[in-house]
Amino acid sequence: MAACERTLQQGRSTLHAVPDVRSPCNMLSLLLHIASLHRKNIQLLLILLLASGLSAQEPETVSGITRFPEAEFVASSSFRSAAYVQPLWKGLHFEGDYFGSDENDVGYTGGSWQVRWRGLRLSPGFGVGFGGNGFRTMPAISLRWKYEKHWFVTEGLIVQGLLETQRSSDNTPEGREEGTVRPTITDGDHVSVRWHRLTLGGAWERIQFREVEWKGGGRAAFRILPHLSAVIFVLGPNTEVRGGLILHPAEEK
C-alpha cells in the first residue's frame, strides 16, 4: 500500500513538472527535464506526451466556437491580397484585409460579429478603409460569409466604403471619366465542391477602386496539413493566375 502511494506521488510530481509541450518555447525546458527524470518515470512521461500531442491537434474551442485564426495570402505578377481573421470573444472577431497592385495599396481593418445558423456563418462588420495614391481614409462596412454542407462550400467577403474617393489610374477610360467612386471590394468569393483534400469551383471578384468590370474564373485549393492549404485562382477576362496559402481551423467532421 505504501509503495502504491509513493508511485502516485511520483506521478503527480511528474505531471506538475512537465512543461507544456504544445508551446515550442518550452522544448528546451522539456529536454532538460527528461534528462533529470528517474528511469521509472519515463513511461509515465511518454503517456503524458502522447495525450498532450493528441489534444494539441484540435484547435482551442469555447462553447463549440474555435479560437484558431484564419489567414490567406495570394499573389500574381500584378495583384496581391492578404486577409487575417482572429476570433476574440464569443462572436466578436478582428479582421484585417489588404489589396495591392502596382498602382495602389488599400487596406481595411475593423471588427465583426459572427452569427451561426446550421452550416451558415455570417459576419457583418464595421471598420476603416485606407490606402495610398489618393485613396481617401473612410468608414466602411463589411460582410463575410461561409457555408459548408457535406461536399458543398461557399465563402466570400464584401467591403463597402461609405465615402467617395479618387479612382486609381489603371482603370478603363469609362471608369476614369467618373473621377470618383464609393469603393466596393469583393474578394475571394467562390462556390465549390469538396472531395477529400481537394476543393474545386468557380470564383469571382470586383476591386472597384481600380477596376470597372467584374472578374471571374476558377479556384482550386488543396489541404496540405490539417491547418494549411494551397490555393490557386485563374481569373479573366484578361487571364490572371494567382497562387498562395490559407491558414484555417481543422476541417469539421
Q: What is the largest CA-CA distance in the chain?
A: 91
Looking at residue 168, its pLDDT comes to 65
Measure the CA–CA gap between 152 and 137, rounded to whole angstroms: 37
Looking at residue 208, its pLDDT comes to 78
Looking at residue 250, its pLDDT comes to 85
Measure the CA–CA gap between 6 and 12, rounded to whole angstroms: 10
Looking at residue 8, its pLDDT comes to 45
Pairing assessment for the beta strands 105-113 and 138-149 based on DSSP bridges? unpaired
pTM of the model as a whole: 0.72
Q: What angle do CA 50, 63, 49 make, to 5 degrees?
A: 10
Rounded alpha-carbon distances, angstroms, from residue 72 to 15, 61, 112: 38, 21, 18
Looking at residue 103, its pLDDT comes to 79
Looking at residue 64, its pLDDT comes to 56
Cell of residue 239, nine digits: 487571364
Determine the number of helices (DSSP H) and then strands (DSSP E) in the chain: 4, 17
Please give the chain's pLDDT, 253 residues, in tens.
Answer: 555 455 445 544 544 444 444 444 454 454 445 444 444 444 444 444 443 443 444 455 555 567 889 999 999 998 999 999 999 999 999 999 999 988 788 999 999 999 999 889 999 999 999 998 888 999 999 999 999 999 999 999 999 999 998 876 554 454 445 578 889 999 999 999 999 999 999 999 998 766 678 999 999 999 999 999 999 999 998 899 999 999 999 876 5
Looking at residue 29, its pLDDT comes to 53
Measure the CA–CA gap between 112 and 139, rounded to whole angstroms: 14
| Cα 68 versus chain centre, distance | 9
* pLDDT tens for each residue of 51-74: 344 344 445 555 556 788 999 999
Rounded alpha-carbon distances, angstroms, from residue 137 to 101, 105, 128, 157, 177: 18, 12, 7, 20, 22
Measure the CA–CA gap between 235 and 242, rounded to whole angstroms: 8
* pLDDT tens for each residue of 226-253: 999 999 999 998 899 999 999 999 876 5
Measure the CA–CA gap between 70 and 84, rounded to whole angstroms: 6
Q: Which helix (H) or strand (E) holds 44?
A: helix 42-56
Domains of the chain: 2-56 (no CATH), 61-247 (2.40.160.40)
